[in-house]
Amino acid sequence: MPAAYPNNNVFVTGTLATSAVTANQVILTYTVPAGKTFWWDYFEANAMLTTFAATATAFGTLSIRQNGNPLFTFNVLAGPGILTSPIYGEFTDSVPFQAGDVLTIVCTPSAVTPFTWEGNISGYTK
């Protein structure tokens, strides 16, 4: 990330508890404000079980989307325990999105097991 943002910082976080195998459940949404450009710097996401598991867990998929179109899609897996390793991406040069663009992080759980999903995006507007 840049050492200092030149304008308005944007930090968006979201959390979602799931217990159904339903596609594209929204963890977080960010809409670029009118008259602004959002410069995206990084994202982070993870999933966790409500209770400890002694075996590896396949949580499902996680997707980052722009206006409903996938930009990145990940299979979320973890070893024994409750928490996945975070999925993290940082851009060398911030990626611009225009006013009205909608960025979402969505998940499609692999089981009716209670999971908690978290997502974060950060950047700045100008």
Burial annotation 62-85 (CB, 10 A radius, 16+ → b, else e): bbbbeeeeeeeebebebeeeeebe
Give the pLDDT confidence of 26-55 residue by residue, as tens digits: 999 999 999 999 999 999 999 998 788 788
| pTM of the predicted structure, to 2 decimals | 0.88
User: What is the tens place of the pLDDT at every residue in 66-114?
Assistant: 999 999 999 998 877 777 788 999 988 899 999 999 999 999 999 898 9
DSSP string, 48-94: EEEEEESS-EEEEEEEEEETTEEEEEEEEEE-SEEEPPPEEEEEEEE
Answer for the pair 76, 61: CB distance below 8 angstroms, yes or no: yes
Please name each of the domains of the chain with its CATH number: 14-125 (2.60.120)
Statement: residue 2 has pLDDT above 70 = no
pLDDT at 23: 96
pLDDT confidence of residue 4: 54
Q: Mean of the pLDDT values across residues 111-124?
A: 93
